[in-house]
Amino acid sequence: MSNQTIKKNGTIKWQSPSNLAIIKYWGKFGSQFPRNTSISFTLDKAHTITQLKYNVKDVKDEQISLSFTFEGKQNEAFEHKVKAFLNKINNDYFPFLKSYHLHFDSFNSFPHSSGIASSASGMSALALCLCTMENELYGTLADTGLFYRKASYIARLGSGSACRSIFPYMALWGSHADIEASSNEIAIPYEDKIHPVFKNYHDDILILSNKEKSVSSTAGHGLMENNPFADSRYKQANERMLTLLKALEDGNTQLFGEIAEAEALTLHALMMCSEPSYMLIDPKSVEVINLVRQYRLDTKIPVYFSLDAGPNIHLLYPNEYQSQVSSFVEDQLKPLCYEQRIIYDQVGLGPKKLEN
Ligand code: PMV
């Protein structure tokens, strides 16, 4: 395409979800490569909407020119973060970016102070906007498969787990000797081999605290390098993955739930036995865990929990039990939540390109 025909401006908007890892990624090397394979549910309600407006610069220079508003207000912290990220990757992946002024405007569907990490939804939305821009300018990502693979690759460079948010239902990331097409560079969609029961699984996110994390996930991954259990942990994750994939295929919600809980507790145990040690769960997380286990024992309903790198509890259960579980949640768990906040989420269909 000649220079004259390249678009001078445009507006792109993507909605991209958060995700919840069932087998956790914890420990990385090189440029955001995972030490073990992970797999996640793509969520629906917890998402970021990012709009990118691009305008060609009058005079081309070698700088990334960018402004960033978050929920309608200028946000310097995000502006610096995204600028640093684009400065790092543009030469290799989007060399045209320096010819444009970029304005990003971003919204989260969940409250800012909810303790929900927004890096997966935010970074995946950003990556999708950049890939669409490339395609609008050069038509180089017209192939849908290629488009999503590049989006996943770029999202990974922004925040490892974000690479999984690109695909519907479930996504798997990290190379595994026994899993075809698995890769450290991109996540792969994992929807064909999962039983329908998991395609509309519930994930009620119980917000137990609105506090910022005391240790960033970058620092947390870093501490795995000297964790004495690191090697056995990576081996365990890769072995659990195979058991989990079988449970997903068979629709075995009990085995699925047992692995989800074991993985969540392993993640937090690894934090506690890092040097220095730190703890991201709080007494309310333990209280909820005990209530969930008692409820399961009493009712035989397959409700299990998971946690991300924070105190909030993700309550996982099949759609068919929604009304029963709902009374348990409203009566026993909601009163324990920060400002009674719960995000009633579910497995979702992945990112959506929105009209401007
Ligand atoms: O993507 P990061 O660097 O924020 O790491 C996230 C890691 C966990 O959320 C704790 C686990 C996972 O696999 O998503």
Backbone angles phi, psi at 132, to 5 degrees: -65, -40
Question: For 67-106, what is each residue's pLDDT tens digit?
Answer: 999 999 999 999 999 999 999 999 999 999 999 999 999 9
For the CA of 38, the nearest atom of ligand 1: 13
Residue 284 to residue 144: CA distance in whole angstroms: 44
Q: What is the mean pLDDT of residues 163-186?
A: 98
* Of residues 265 and 217, more confidently modeled: 265
Residues 6+ apart with CB under 8 A from 278: 214, 215, 220, 271, 272
Lowest mean pLDDT among 2-6, 216-220, 224-228: 2-6
* Distance between CA atoms of residues 264 and 2, nearest Å: 52
pTM of the predicted structure, to 2 decimals: 0.96
- CA 226, CA 154: separation in Å to the nearest integer? 28
The DSSP symbol for 55 reads E
Task: State how far the Cα of 32 lies from the Cα of 307, in Å rounded to an integer.
Answer: 22
**Rounded to an integer, what distance in angstroms lies between the CA atom of residue 277 and that of residue 230?**
14
Any residues with CB less than 8 A from the CB of 261 and at least 6 apart, and which?
304, 305, 306
Which pLDDT value is given to residue 1? 47
Q: What's the average model confidence in pLDDT over 50-79?
A: 93
- Whether residue 170 contacts residue 194, with contact meaning beta carbons closer than 8 Å, is answered with yes
β-bridge mates for residue 41, sequence order:
20, 170
283 alpha carbon – ligand 1 mean position (Å): 22
Average pLDDT, the chain: 95
Section 38-49 average pLDDT: 97
User: Percentage of the chain with pLDDT > 70?
Assistant: 97
Distance CA 5, CA 26 (A): 46
Query: What's CA 287's distance to the chain center, in Å?
Result: 26
- Torsional sign, CA 164, 166, 167, 168: positive
For the cut 70, the answer to whether the pLDDT of residue 4 exceeds it is no
- The preferred substitution site among 18, 24, 29, 244 for testing ligand 1, maximizing ligand atoms within 8 Å of CB, is 24
Token couple for 19 = 């995700």
Ligand 1, pocket-test mutation among 39, 161, 165, 259, most atoms within 8 A of CB: 161
Task: Report strand pairing: 100-108 vs 65-70.
Answer: parallel
- Per DSSP, the three-state class of 335 is helix
For residues 354 and 15, is the Cβ–Cβ distance under 8 A? Answer: yes
Mean pLDDT over 128-150 rounds to 98
User: Ligand 1: residues within 6 Å at CB?
Assistant: 21, 24-26, 38, 119, 159-161, 217, 267, 308-309
- State yes or no: pLDDT of 3 exceeds 60: no
Nearest-atom index, ligand 1, CA of 267 = 10
Between CA 133 and CA 127 the distance in angstroms is: 10
